[in-house]
Structure 1
Amino acid sequence: MKDYLQETEESSEGMGGEDPVEEWKGKTQIYNFDELLKSNDIEIVATRLSEGALEMADFMKKDIIDRFLDFVYFKVQTGDVEIPSMAYPTKRMLDRILEKKVIELINTHLYPEIIFRLLKIFMRNVHDADTNLYIANLIYSEDIIKAIYDTFRLLKKDIFLVDRDRRTLNVKRMQQYSPRSDNKQSSPLDAVARLKYVLEFFLIKYSVDHLYKLEDLLLFGPEDEKLL
């Protein structure tokens, strides 16, 4: 599998100064992720993010890792266009050193707690789902890719449930929405289609045939007939 961590230069050394993590503890909840990433070793950043997520634990609110991924999304969104395939356009960060650090954090240091946050992004991005590739392009871990595929299979079964509330429950859990929220944004069919797009992207980018094949991504296959 291609390792994008080797494509960029070694990350710069710590720049010193005050620990930006102290800003997290304020009531404003303004996080200087640029400073945090550029001024600290990656192990320290990972520890701070993990500890911060535990301190801010609230099922109905974004935690520090969610906000870190929001920061990452913004950095990629304002970056360079990358088109591995015309059907799967994406982008990369302008700052390749920062990108390298983010990739290592997502795939190594923040695993496994990062998985739920990644799924939440893919589940919530209803109206602009092609931009899920901005985050997917930073993923190379087979463990994370396998978790996304397993989620695809789980939600595909929900499509065939008759009861609307039961049908949308797993999607709502991943979206971090209340079970009583509107079902319109939590269709398992829509969610599966979004994950399918991401999984197809992984197939053209990496050799993951041992995890799943293109035919495994059919929204309705022979194995689904028994669910009708």
Structure 2
Amino acid sequence: MSSELPHASSADHRVRIVVADDQPLMRRAIADLVQDEPTLELVGEAANGQEAVQLAQSAQADLVLMDLDMPVMSGVDAIAALTAATDIRTMALTTFSSMDWVLAALRAGASGYLVKDSAPDMILQAVQQVMEDTMVLSPSVVSLLSKQVLEMPDRAVRTSEEEAPQLTEREQQVLDLLAGGLSNREIAQELFLSEGSVKLHMGKACDKLGARDRVQLLVRAVELGLVRPALMKPETALDRYR
């Protein structure tokens, strides 16, 4: 059963959070973590995906911490529904770390993916990063993506050439550096561009690959074989998204 908490005053700029998990003890533990953080505001709790979607909208949430395997409506479907209809961000917070679950959540529009054994400080830091439009992935998820990328032959394409979007040389350079773990500022420095230009090229690549943000862009690039592992810096390859 969902529960919505009273709105804070308009002067309160804390991040408004909904916690969605079908396990009462886990939901309460995450809710307590949110309530103990001065920069966050717990605005409701949901026991399934459908409640999460309804509550996030009615409570005007900024972010939903979403379990994935829930009754009535799965967390993946709830993420997709919120992504399609609102600007509310979502972050998967789940026990599952298999590639199938990771890709499903990120394709649906999740801005991050953490497993529930993450340290409390890591969860709180992840919330802040997601609200700053930075992708957040648990180390175990990073390892999965790294393994998939690094096992691909250089310039491998997992679909036919006709299905792979054609990127410009500059878009490809930005994508390669993104896969290397660089921030927009670092990509700009590497390519001698402004950050605005980097965002423009990244936005065009997102449009071509059907991605909403950096997380989805990286996932789609991995799926299509559009990243070049040989160009990824060993010390930063995906590791910096932890």
TM-score by length of 1: 0.34
Bigger share in helix: 1
TM-score by length of 2: 0.32
Bigger share in strand: 2
